[in-house]
Chains A and B, each alone.
Chain A
Amino acid sequence: MRKSLAIASMMLATATSALGQQVEPIEYTLDNGMKFLLMPRDEQPNIITAGWISPVGSVNERPGIVGVSHLLEHLLFKGTDAIGTSDPELDKQYREQLTEIREQMRAYALDVQYDRMHKGEIDNPWDPENDTAELRELRAQMTAIQDKQAEITIKNEFDSIYTGNGASGMNAGTSNDFTIYYINIPSNKLELWAWMESDRLDNPSMRELDAERFVVIEERRQRLEATATGKLDEQFDSMFWVASPYGFPVIGWMSDLMAYTEDEIYEYFETYYQPANLTGVIVGDFDPDDAKQLVESYFGRLENKREAPAPVVTHSVPLLGELRFTGECDCQDQVEVRYRSVPFGHPDEAVFDVMADILNGRTGRLYKSLVEEQEIATSARAGNRSNHFAGSFSFSAVPKGRAELVDLEAAWYEQLERLKTEPVGERELQKIKNQQAADTFRGLQDNSSLFFQLAITEAFDSYEYLNEMPKRVQAVTSQDILRVANQYFKDNNRAVALYTRKGGEKPLITLDDVRASLPEDMAAMMMPQIENQLQQLEMLGIDELKSGLEEMQAMAGQYPPQLKTAMEYMQQQVEQRIKQLEAERNSDASEGDDQ
């Protein structure tokens, strides 16, 4: 006892020193409003992680263009007027011809193919599988122009320039809330980065739009449709968010992927990728004065062409009841219970995070209770996700053996009740704070991890979040947890997803299961009795069995817990015997009957 107190006070000192670790990038804003965060570090010599971010994602979309943030991210790798073609003039002509055919195909689809869909002739007006002869002809014309364009295209030049200059890990990512572009470069290649990135922001060619649409469709299949739970998850999200655009899948609905126009894509680009909406971040081995000079020259060229985009307008309505979603897939049985929590930066965000930590890990409450003590789950976890404009908190678990999803759900509500009624113990809370303090250091060790944290927090609000959040976590009290648990987690504001394996059946209880479930002394006594009763079942008729079953069901709550499996087993055997007898009776009755 003494010992643990001593440790607690020592750790508090460590935690405080972790809080002293301030993240302090150099801030630099260009006249056009584009902001840069510069973070020189020499721990990893010769290397820089650089990139930029726009606070735009699927949450900014609307029906009809869902997925466009992500498609646009792909298209920004397609080069510019100067990069990617050996003949910019001819390339432009080809692009115009392709646009024209694309417009014709779209007009045709909206007319003829929609008509065919209404008549029930086809299911999807955009799928090439459903092409008419006219459409097929247009598509062949398109392919022919693309083949000609390919002759003057310098294949993936945007990538190969970087590759040949020692850049690596070039990539981008789109989320609900942001789109981020990043790369690792040698220290002497910062100007190359400034050239390439400012050029693609200035005049992207969006070359190969039509092929890329199909690449993204394949990406949707790979990430979502051909995965165990992808399609169900997408629908559960959609249901959970009701009005909010957080219900949109980042990858886009299949219908929209097939349909958006070049104009819609450019419109979106010009709205959300103007310099005043962007933040650049450079982390690693570089001279900040050189960097300021470079970004001033290169990114200073960019102009704002539109009004600043408005933040997301549609917020979700509160959940007014319990939503339940059941689905089957080629997947493990699993349950998720999800609640609305709070957006990024909200004062209660830290409380939700601490609550999740109390539940997670091998010393967390979920493992101890659901996995180890009750043995009803093989895994169980909780998590808070505070997006830019709205958040969610969820519990999820996979059952063990014969446990039912409803058992897991009930076990979660029990845990929730504890959070709502019992203050979290001092040591339990201190453990979370200690880990969080150490993790603060761990997260700052690596250039690219630092890059992402700076970029995302600054895109949402300010990197100061990185310094503020650890303090907020240290300040969370057991009273805060009681308050938040009671305020946000209610029976009538949750969504529950229950997935079960397609065609799956719970395995039957065996005699071995029964033996294993009984305490040793009891097993020796009970097993012969059970086996004896099993033999007697054979001699009973349907009516006797049915009334026996009713009796057992009525008594169910009164057996001591160690007999639970044994009694379920007996019940199972009785039910099986009834089924068997009924089947025999039916097959007798149906003889000679044509139906």
Chain B
Amino acid sequence: MRNSTTTLLTSIALIAGAQAIASTDIPDHPSGIEYEELVFEPPVASDYRHELSSGVPVFMAPSKEFPLVTIRFSFKGGEYLEPEGKAGLAGITGQLMRSGGNSAFGPSELDEEFDFLAANVSASIGGTTANASINCLTSNFDEAYALFVDMMKTPRFDEKRLGVLKSQILESLKTRNDDGLQIAIREMGFLMWGEKHFEGRVVTKQSIESITVEDIRAFHQRIFHPGNLMISVTGDFDEQEMLTVLEGTVDGWSVGEISPEVPAPTHVFEPGVYYYEKDQPQVQVLIGHRGIERDNPDAISVQIMNDILGGSGFTSRITNSVRTREGLAYTAGSVFSNKVEYPGMFMSYFFTKTATAAFGTKLVFDEFEKIQKEMAATDEIEVMQNSAIETFPRTFESKGAMLGIFMSDERTDRPSDHWQTYRERVRSVSQEDVQRAANEYLHPQDAIILMVGPWEEIQAGNASSEADANRIVTMDAFFGGNATELPQRDPETMEPIETPKEKVSQE
């Protein structure tokens, strides 16, 4: 409808000259605008999937727009494979692969070659996957790619560069108590996952110092081999030629032990109020408990419920109440971070001045209660459903992102019709589903409330600055006023140390 009007107007405009463009009727409210239907079919992995003769999957999506090629080698394996006492080995192995030279060139020479060829090369090892990738101009692809493959398969792991890297990391460890949010996230990890599981574990001075080139070589060999590999290619290239190139790369590369499944954490967390003393004008407040698995059948109901609660910016309730209405925080919201292998974490968060940390927490708890007790309005649910459905094409926006999804889905055995049925499943979420999800997956009474800041001021609440008696809240409102002080930690070793308070009283 709109389309035909516009076309007509445009043709009139062409005849009469640009100034003759007529004005469209402007509705009083945007709900009066009519839209053309937008047809979008999600891409299907099999249309992009190829296999090398060795069975390694290759996903390709060519495009001629720019004379650049990007190839990503993705390997199963990550921090979860770090041996006891070697936290940081994964990160260091990835970084030193990139900075430590290859079999043909020493580190500085290789860096020079890549830089001169204007190739962006990276290597990294994350929690559960490892990547090596190159983005370069098609005009010097052969040369840059050969250097890259040499680096990926036979990195030199130069000792001196390892020394530089370790000293950089050791220096950065000293800053771990400088930023309140960094403290909050780390302590929440310890409380939620324990200090042993890789989700909660952090590097220490000792673990970094203990890492040797032999550790790094062994870790590299364990992960970077064709048994763990998937490849994606985007940019300007010919598919058949690329397959030949990749065959050549993988050919003769011996297959090692395939990485095992990611282990689930065994730590059981203790609900309650925790605080970490720090002298700062703003408090980081995190409220969290364990969440859900990615493939939980209720995952979409939980997603819509959390979008209403605090997961969709200004439109969500926590943001509206803590930020917009009361002006207590710039950042406020909630998130379910789902994990494939075990339930992830639910967390609500906001940062506010010390006096209003308790009031803000009360507002968040009020929202938990409201979404559990009262059914959400249909139009509120509809906004979130429309959003999920209409933003769906963005999931596949860039070809790189699309292929990334295909690789991750295959690696984690995601149900094959997931994307094809996604929008229907979103549309079918009902008011009852939302309420049920809130009751089943939100557990405010069994949550951890973690605060970083000056506890005495936090605890006292906002009585001295709040004009409205109904808005005065102290920390007595939570867990019967009980709170556990977390020990101050040495930033480098993470060992608990005596608290500054005790120090002050001794002087």
- Could you tell me which A residues sit within 8 Å of B by CB distance? 4, 7, 10-11, 13-14, 17, 21, 43-47, 77, 82-83, 128-129, 131, 136-137, 139-140, 142-144, 150, 155-156, 158-161, 163-168, 170, 184, 186-189, 191-192, 195-196, 208, 210-216, 218-219, 221-222, 225-228, 289-290, 292-294, 296-298, 300-301, 329-332, 361-363, 368, 371-372, 375, 378-379, 398, 400-401, 427, 430-431, 434-435, 437-439, 441-442, 444-446, 501
Contacts and interface: CB of A to CB of B under 8 A. Distances in A.
A434 B135 contact: no
B137 A431 contact: no
Contacts of B179: 227-228
Contact of A136 (B324, B325, B467): B467
Given A159-B314, A168-B391, A361-B115, A212 B33 contact: no
A441 B314 contact: no
A156 B67 contact: no
Interface stretch (B24-32, B50-58, B268-276): B24-32
Interface stretch (B36-44, B247-255, B411-419, B424-432): B36-44
Contacts of B167: 375, 378, 400-401
B10 interface: yes
B386 A222 contact: no
Given A140-B468, A186-B390, A77 B139 contact: no
Give 9 nearest A-B pairs by CB, closest first. Answer: A166-B390, A214-B327, A211-B327, A219-B330, A438-B118, A159-B314, A164-B383, A139-B467, A140-B467
Given A143-B467, A218-B282, A379-B168, A438 B137 contact: yes
A559 to B, nearest CB: 24
A201 to B, nearest CB: 14
A222 B331 contact: yes
Interface of B: 2, 6, 9-10, 13, 21, 23-24, 26-31, 33, 35-38, 40, 63, 65-68, 99, 108, 111-112, 115-118, 120, 135-137, 139-140, 143, 160, 164, 167-168, 171-172, 174-175, 177-180, 280-282, 312-315, 319-320, 323-331, 351-353, 355, 382-384, 386-387, 389-391, 393-394, 397-398, 464-465, 467-468, 471
Contacts of B140: 7, 10-11, 14
A324 B105 CA distance: 43
Nearest to B39: A46
Contacts of B31: 161
28 contacts: A14-B137, A14-B140, A46-B38, A46-B40, A131-B465, A143-B467, A155-B320, A155-B324, A156-B315, A163-B312, A163-B313, A168-B387, A168-B394, A184-B394, A188-B37, A191-B35, A195-B33, A208-B324, A208-B325, A211-B325, A215-B330, A218-B329, A293-B9, A297-B24, A362-B99, A441-B66, A442-B68, A442-B120
Contact of A163 (B28, B65, B383): B383
Contact of A10 (B139, B398, B468): B139
B315 A226 contact: no
Contacts of B328: 214, 218
A188 B467 CA distance: 48
B282 A435 contact: no
Nearest to A187: B38
A37 to B, nearest CB: 17
Contacts of B30: 83, 161, 192, 195-196
Given A140-B467, A362-B99, A372-B164, A44 B314 contact: no
B331 A129 contact: no
Contacts of A170: 313
A166 B390 CA distance: 4
A471 to B, nearest CB: 17
Contact of B23 (A143, A297, A398, A430): A297
A147 B278 CA distance: 34
A47 B35 CA distance: 15
B181 to A, nearest CB: 8
Given A77-B314, A211-B325, A400-B171, A143 B281 contact: no
B313 A297 contact: no
